[in-house]
Amino acid sequence: MPKPSRTQKQIAERYKGNLGYYRKLHPWRRARMLVSLVALFGGLLSIFLYSKRGPEKFFNAGKISADHASFENKCDSCHDKNAGGGNFRQVLRERFHHGLAFDAIDRKCETCHQQHTFHEANVVQNKSCSACHQEHQGPGPMKMVASSQCASCHNNSQTMLASAQKGMEMNLHAQDRHPHSPQQVVFKLPRPPQGFTSTFAAFWENHPDFQIKRVNARDPDVLRFNHQRHFAADIPPVNGQKLDCNYCHKPQPDGRFMQRINFAANCQTCHSLQFDWRNPELRIPHGDVDLVRTFLRTLPAQYGDYARLKRGMSEREVPSFVAQQIKQLRDQFHSGDELELAVFFTTNPYKPQEKSAPATRANFTGCAFCHEVKEARGVPTITKPILVDRWMTRSVFNHAKHARVACDTCHAAMQSRDTSDVLMPAKANCVTCHSPQGKVVAECSTCHNYHAPPAAQTVATTTTWRELLASGR
């Protein structure tokens, strides 16, 4: 290492008599200070002047989404155009003391988005529109709301506790934020006293299981149906094809939900309501008790029409044909009342036909085989089936997007024997795909809507959960 030419002491001796160097004015230091001040105040002046007269693109923080592309050169559609004008000083003072204010932007949002309201009624403090729906992130669709925005409340135990307490004091129907079409039959479980205020960070972690599974909900329908039985090997093919889920469960045109099951479209092909194996095309009507009773009490006329229309008999042949059919029925049922009782109340109409082929065995009828049949003052009554259209109203789901997933993977129908089984998936079914391991998007907004339409705010009662629990009901 080379030896230094001068020691520190020698260097210090050189500046010994010049200790006031930085106290003296120097033209270069003064120039630097002036340039800095001009740049600072010039920048502030430019902002002020551009806010009054300059093009709006000067302030643009970045490209906006395709949803708001029409506002690209109209900043005042969302922003307060007075922010940089006469109120500039006031705006600066507000920003320094209170941070960014989003109220003005929120009001602008609501001028267009009138069909939305904010979150659940028991939310302690609503967030700004801009907190979740962030603009100037580039062209194309607006970015999906990040789950971290939801977790800022739903993963905060104090916030959730405050929300639960607020909900206990609110009227129950004010929190019913999931309206549905009047034509839909919806399975509605009661809202828990604490609401839906569990604390969790992500769907695949501590998100609670779906309520329909947590409470082991049961199907209220009394229609007797056995899914497992319809997959059995002895069930004959329909139109050359083995029965499967898609035979009965067909998606609606938009692919989101399934069409409602009905007898004519889904059941009648196999269960054709025959009652006389000798005349298989003569069938009992479905859906109206009075119509069935009228049909049975006018059998001679029914056989007569059948002979003319289906068998092409002449008028001379019809009376003997009708008499023969009525005699055969009386030999089997002895009276019209006994036949009516058999049609309405036989729980296993297939037993007398056990030796016949499977393709024809199921055609024979008995209302009680599928329906709950009661007797009121000597008249049969049938409990109307409850065919649910929506089971989980708080979720957003689209069957079309899950078309590649086998039905039984989520609904476990092949193991179900009872009508009361609610064949909805559990959280574990969804986490298989919707998680980091499954590599399918699992943001909160994938399955939930934050906003509720205004119709959801309809209030029908002033009863609160706390009052309901105190009453013991």
Query: What does the H/E/C string look like for 190-242?
Result: CCCCCCCCCCCCCCCCCCCCCHHHHCCCCCCCCCCCCHHHHCCCCCCCECCEC
Pairing of strands 379-382, 373-376: antiparallel
Cβ-contact 397, 180 below 8 angstroms = no
DSSP symbols for 93-135? HHHHHH----HHHHHHHHHH-TT-B-S-TT-SSPPPHHHHS--
- Percent of the chain at pLDDT > 70 equals 79
pLDDT in tens, 33-91: 889 999 998 888 887 777 666 665 655 677 888 888 888 778 878 877 665 444 556 66
Burial of 426 (0-12, 13-18, 19+ CB in 10 A): middle
% pLDDT > 90, the chain: 35
Q: Confidence class of residue 418 from pLDDT cuts 50, 70 and 90?
A: very high
Encode burial over 236-250: b for 16+ CB neighbours within 10 A, e otherwise.
Answer: eeeeeeeeebeebee
DSSP string, 265-290: IIITTT---B--TTSTT-B---S-HH
Number of Cα atoms under 13 Å in the Cβ half of residue 163: 23
When pLDDT is averaged across residues 179-189 and rounded to a whole number, the result is 78
The mean predicted confidence, pLDDT, of the chain is: 82
What is the model's pLDDT at position 96? 66
pLDDT band, residue 248 (cuts 50/70/90): very high
The one-letter amino acid at 450: Y
Q: Is the distance from CB of 116 to CB of 456 less than 8 angstroms?
A: no
pLDDT for res 420: 93
CA dist 445 and 146 (Å) reads 8
With b for 16 or more beta-carbon neighbours within 10 A and e for fewer, the 53-70 pattern comes to: eeeeeeeeeeebbeebee
What number is the average pLDDT over the span 352-374? 70
Provide the pLDDT for residue 83: 55
Identify the band that residue 172 occupies on the pLDDT scale cut at 50, 70 and 90: low
Structure-token pair, residue 344:
């309405």
pTM: 0.73
**Mean pLDDT along residues 237-259:** 89
Q: 334 in the Ramachandran plot: left (φ > 0), alpha (ψ -120 to 50) or beta?
A: left
- Give the model's confidence band at 396: pLDDT under 50 very low, under 70 low, under 90 confident, else very high: confident
Q: What is the DSSP string of 409-470?
A: HHH-GGG---TT---PPPHHHHHTTSSTTTTS---HHHH--S-B-GGGG------BHHHHHH
| Residues 100-159: tens digit of each pLDDT | 667 778 888 888 887 666 777 788 888 888 888 888 888 888 888 889 989 999 999 999
Burial bucket for residue 387 (CB in 10 Å: 0-12, 13-18, 19+): exposed
Residue type, 268: Q
Span 267-318, pLDDT tens digits: 988 888 888 878 888 899 998 999 999 999 999 999 999 999 999 999 999 9
Angstrom CA distances, 473 to 168, 275, 396, stand at 15, 49, 32
Dihedral angle of Cα 261, 266, 270, 272, to the nearest 10 degrees: 80
Residue 379: is its pLDDT beyond 60? yes
Lookup: tokens for 351: 């037993």
pLDDT digits (tens, 9 = 90+) for 433-471: 999 999 998 899 899 888 766 554 333 334 454 554 455
**Residue-level pLDDT at 468:** 47
**CA–CA distance, 123 with 53 (Å, rounded to integer):** 42
Dist. CA 205–CA 268, nearest whole Å: 46
Give the model's pLDDT for residue 57.
61
Instruction: Answer positive or negative: Cα dihedral of 302, 304, 309, 312.
Output: positive
Name 374's bridge partners.
381
From CA 140, how far away is CA 67, in angstroms rounded? 8
Q: What letter represents residue 247's amino acid?
A: Y
Alpha carbon distance 154, 456 (integer Å): 22
- 147-154 helix and 157-169 helix, angle to the nearest 10 degrees: 70
